[in-house]
């Protein structure tokens, strides 16, 4: 009888310990999950705005132009393409519209030259692709406008396409590389190519 009572007492103590320990372990697991979730939130919620500053090279090609116009040409025949090359500074402001799916960016390229100022302005919708924790690529399309100054001022309009990417050295700073092709349709058809590289900050 005493042996049975001892066993009953041990069983009762074990059952009581389990009853007390189970809720404590459950609370600890919940706290760990909440802490891990908060860590993830902090890691991914790194900002929805990006400002970039880049050094850019620009080439503008107008096929078969018959003299005149706002673009200063390289020497050639009457039916040869006119080419304008400039180097300037590009400033971009990007905003996340749908995280992981859609961004919008407005960029301004200031490219002075001996015959005046070239000022392309693009408004582009971009689809980002997260290739790794640090590397992000994007492709975009939108509208382009360009203001020329060559004795007189003239504005051109057209379509813009973009391919580029970011390498995030930390959650807020990145090295950026972009390539653009713009098709200007008015007042005359022109092809514009831009290659730009610099730094970006996310906040």
Q: How many CB atoms lie within 10 A of CB 62?
A: 20
CATH code of 90's domain: 2.40.160.20
pLDDT at 41: 38
13/85 same-domain check:
no
- 180 and 158 in a single domain? The answer is yes
Q: Please tell me whether residues 60 and 153 are part of one structural domain.
A: yes
Mean pLDDT (whole number) for 42-60: 82
Q: Name the residue with higher pLDDT: 10 or 100.
A: 100
pLDDT at 97 over 70: yes
- How far is it, in rounded angstroms, from Cα 75 to Cα 70? 15
pLDDT at 24: 47
| Residue 112 pLDDT greater than 50, yes or no | yes
* Whether residues 144 and 191 fall in one domain: yes
Q: Which of 104, 89, 171 is nearest to 136 (CA)?
A: 171
Owning domain of residue 68: 49-202
Residues 10, 82 share a domain: no
- For the chain, the distance separating the N- and C-terminal CA atoms, rounded to the nearest angstrom, is 74
3-state class of 151 per DSSP? coil
Note the pLDDT of residue 187.
80
Both 35 and 77 in a single domain?
no
pLDDT on residue 74: 46
For the entire predicted model, the pTM comes to 0.70
Contact 159, 140 (CB under 8 A): no
Residues 86, 118: contact at Cβ < 8 Å? yes
Answer yes or no: is pLDDT of 33 > 90. Answer: no
Inform me whether the pLDDT recorded for 43 exceeds 60.
Answer: no
Q: Are residues 5 and 83 in the same domain?
A: no
* Residues 69, 83 within the same domain: yes
Q: What is the pLDDT of residues 52-77, one digit of tens each?
A: 999 999 998 988 755 444 454 444 44
CA 166: distance to chain centroid? Answer: 7
Lowest mean pLDDT, pick from 67-71, 122-126, 158-162: 67-71
Hey, how many other C-beta atoms are within 10 angstroms of the C-beta on 86?
20
Q: Are residues 132 and 190 in the same domain?
A: yes
Q: Is the domain of 55 the same as that of 32?
A: no
pLDDT reported for residue 34: 53
The domain tally of the chain equals 2
Strands (E), 2-81: 49-62
């Amino acid at each position: 009888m005493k042996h049975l009572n001892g066993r009953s007492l041990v069983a009762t103590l074990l059952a009581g310990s389990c009853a007390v320990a189970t809720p404590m372990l459950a609370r600890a697991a919940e706290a760990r999950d909440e802490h891990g979730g908060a860590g993830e939130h902090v890691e991914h919620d790194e900002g929805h705005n990006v400002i970039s500053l880049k050094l850019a090279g620009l080439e503008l090609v107008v096929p078969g132009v018959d003299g005149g116009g706002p673009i200063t040409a390289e020497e050639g025949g009457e039916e040869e393409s006119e080419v304008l090359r400039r180097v300037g500074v590009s400033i971009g402001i990007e905003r996340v519209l749908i995280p992981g799916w859609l961004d919008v960016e407005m960029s301004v390229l200031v490219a002075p030259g001996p015959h005046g100022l070239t000022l392309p302005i693009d408004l582009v919708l971009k689809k980002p692709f997260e290739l790794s924790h640090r590397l992000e690529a994007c492709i975009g399309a939108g509208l382009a406008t360009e203001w020329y100054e060559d004795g007189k001022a003239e504005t051109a309009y057209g379509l813009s396409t973009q391919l580029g990417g970011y390498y995030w050295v930390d959650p807020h700073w990145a090295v950026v590389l972009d390539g653009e092709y713009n098709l200007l349709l008015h007042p005359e058809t022109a092809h514009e190519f831009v290659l730009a590289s610099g730094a970006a900050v996310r906040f």
